Structure formats: C-alpha cells, structure tokens
Amino acid sequence: MRAGRALFPALAEAAETYLDSASTTQKPLPVIESVDRYHRSRTANAGRGGYGWATVLDREIESVRARTARFVGARPEEVVFTSGATAALNAIALAWGLSELADGDEILYSPHDHSANVYPWLRLRDVLARFGRRVRLIPYRVTALGEADAADIAARITPRTRLITVCHLHHVFGAVSTLQQLRARVDPAILWCFDCSQSGGHLPLDVTELGADFAVLSAHKMFGAPGTGVLYCARRVHERLTTFLPGGSSGVAVTDSGLRPTGMPHQLEGGTHNIPGILALGAALEVLEEFGMSAIAEHNRLLTRQLIEGLRPLPGLRLLPGPAHADREIGYGIVSFALDGIGATDLGFVLAESGFLVRTGAHCVPARDAGADSVRVSTHVYTTGDDIDRFVRCVATIASEVR
C-alpha cells in the first residue's frame, strides 16, 4: 500500500520509520483538514443553538454517529461518543455496574489485558464495597498464543457471573480473541464486553457477530484524533444503564423523584462533545473504508509474517505469545519480542537512534509477567515490506553485537 503513504503528511516529513501504530496511528490529510476546518470556519457548539452554524454541526455529528454504527455493524442509537476507550470502559462500570451489580456478583477479566480494561473494574469493586456490595473480580488465563483461554473462562463461570470482559485484539501479543464457541454455551443473561481499541481500524469489525453487549474503540488508533472514543451499547442493555455524567444535553429529565434518563445515546454524553474529534473520526472512517478493512487486514497479516520470519532465526531473540507461535498463517500487525543481553528500554533507544520508532516496556499491562520489558512492533497501511526488511537487519546487527 505504498501509494497510501502520500495521505500521511508526517511520514513525508520524517526520516524515521514509524513502527508504533498500536500506540497511535499517523493521521491522514482528510483528518487533519477536518479538524482545521472546524476551527477555521463556522466554529460553534453543536446542538446548543438554533442558528445555522450550530444546527449544521449537530447534523454532521449525527452523520458521523450513523457512519460509525455502519462501520461496526450497530445502530446509531447504540453508539456513544466518549473521550477515548479508557473513558468508554469506565462509562460501562459507572453507567451499568454501579446500579446493576449486587453483593456477591462476579466479573471475569484478564490481568494480562491493557490496564484500561482492568483498573475500571478494580475501582468499581472498591466503590461498591463502601456501600456493602462485595463484587468479586475473577481473573482468567491466556493461552500460549496470547488468546483469552476459553476453557479457563468456562471453568470460572458461576451463577453469579454478570460480565465477561475480553480484549478483542491484544495490544502486546497481537492475538485475536472472539470466544465464539464459548459464547454459544454461556447463559445469555451474562453480558460480554470487548475492548476493540486495537482491532478497530485494523480488522473488519462487527459487534453483532462478536456477540458484544459493550464494545469500545479508540479513534486515535484508527487514523482519528486523540481525545475521542466510541462506546457501543447493545439495545438490550439500554434500560439497564443510568446517567453517570449529568449535565448539559445529557439526555435526562428532572422529575419529582430525581433524574430520569430520556434515551440513548445522549444519556451517556453529558457536556460538550469533542466536536473536532468527532468530525475527525468521520474523516478517518472514510479513509479506512476507501482502503477497505479486508485489504488493511491482509496487508498487516503479510507484514506480520514477514517480520516474524525475519526475527525468528536471530540468536538470543524471544518472540512473545502471539501469531509467531500459531500453527497457521495469521498475523494482525503486532509482534512483541525480547533480546538477550539488552533490556527493552535500551534496545528501543538504540533502534530509535537507527531511525526505527517502536514501543518498549510493560505496555500498560498490570500483570508483571505479561510482556514486561519487551519491544513491540506494530504496522499499518503506511508500513512497507522494505521497512520490515530494514528493521530486521538492524535488530540482527544489534543481536550480534550484544552477544
């Protein structure tokens, strides 16, 4: 997809090779222009005025909502705009968990997931405990491939299980978990939450096929601007959600008994929208659709296999769980590894000095044994096979020197 690189101005200006798209993606020109256009022309607050500037923006935001819904296989009323995936996961804990969970209820989670899909549940447990409701958080394992362990999850489900939260595409291991066969056997009363921060914009995504009751996306990981996220709430859970962020245009009405939600999705969108961020998301989705999600996924698969085959023979190099250990040709644009004789932070510094920008460290994973002190390489449409070849040669040189 070399021709697509021209859409990303930062790449034209940089001498370095960017290999950190799992952290944030580069921004295509239409996204940059959408943010600039909002600030330069007819800046207003959407939905806060009857004049044209405000009403046009309101329609544009709802158009982006509809486009987002189509992109993930949802309905517009199931799409909530947030300030990011972290905010979306916390919104689930606050809008659903605070009012729905009772003493003794359980949530199944993975301590190997991103902290944004761990800490909100820990905080929810601590808050509820102050009111006499003791919720249990039950950790489950991941497999040698880095996938959520379906057998272990099944063994830990009890009559008190209320939610199972899963990382769709793991941000360190690069493994996809759908738990499709397990979902078919689980009590439909149990809710499913999928963290799609990494899969959104990288893989074809259909939340209905995924069986999600909740799903979250991060716009800045899918060509959009920072500070914008998406929370998907399936229609069947709407009546079980409370307004956790009351304020201007927050979808509530005042009654004699207190605040009453007036309907989704606005009841979870109190306050002023990140208007330029939402408009940027609309532009980002248009770019992604022009590339084609299947084409993007195949591009990343080929680069992942090229990277794995290049790194595998290097002495002292250890590939973390993920596609490198699969018995089939899979790959989703994320590969993590460690190299004997040099720590990940130092290795990342040497790579940066050589012009390769990668992520190093623990990658926001609470479990200290999961990817701690590793190097993560992540790709997207602007990454080329030549980038991967040069990176492998650079790592090979470092590996021979540290030995």
pLDDT tens figures, 221-235: 999 999 999 999 999
Mean pLDDT of 167-173: 97
Q: Which residue, 243, 258, 288, sits at the end of a domain?
A: 288
Q: What percent of the chain shows pLDDT beyond 70?
A: 97
The two three-digit tokens of residue 183, written as one number = 């979902």
Pair 23, 35 in one domain: no
Q: How confident is the model at residue 361 (pLDDT cuts 50, 70, 90)?
A: confident
Pair 243, 311 in one domain: no
Residue 1 has pLDDT above 60, yes or no: no
In angstroms, the CA 50 to CA 122 distance is 43
Residue 108: which CATH number?
Answer: 3.40.640.10
Q: What is the pTM of this model?
A: 0.95
What per-residue confidence (pLDDT) applies to 369?
62
Tens of pLDDT, residue by residue over 252-278, are 777 777 777 778 999 999 888 999 999
Q: How confident is the model at residue 137 (pLDDT cuts 50, 70, 90)?
A: very high
Pair 348, 394 in one domain: yes
Pair 380, 364 in one domain: yes
Pair 180, 87 in one domain: yes
Pair 172, 221 in one domain: yes
Comparing C-alpha atoms, which of 199, 395, 222 is closest to residue 315?
Answer: 395
Pair 201, 87 in one domain: yes
Decide: 162 and 138 in contact? Cβ < 8 Å: no
What per-residue confidence (pLDDT) applies to 329?
86
Residue 379: which CATH number?
Answer: 3.90.1150.10
Q: Which residue, 239, 256, 288, sits at the end of a domain?
A: 288
What per-residue confidence (pLDDT) applies to 110?
97
Pair 238, 96 in one domain: yes
Total structural domains in the chain? Answer: 2
Q: Can you say how many angstroms the Cα of residue 25 is from the centroid of all Cα atoms in its chain?
A: 12
Residue 217 has pLDDT above 90, yes or no: yes
Pair 14, 50 in one domain: no
Q: How confident is the model at residue 249 (pLDDT cuts 50, 70, 90)?
A: low
Pair 269, 161 in one domain: yes
What per-residue confidence (pLDDT) applies to 270?
85
Pair 302, 268 in one domain: no
Q: Comparing 366 with 372, which gets the higher pLDDT? A: 366
DSSP codes joined into one string, 84-146 = -HHHHHHHHIIIIIHHH--TT-EEEE-TTS-GGGTHHHHHHHHHHHTTT--PEEEE--B-TTS
Q: Which residue, 288, 315, 335, sits at the end of a domain?
A: 288
What per-residue confidence (pLDDT) applies to 257?
72
User: What range does the domain containing 300 cover?
Assistant: 2-28+292-402
Pair 272, 323 in one domain: no
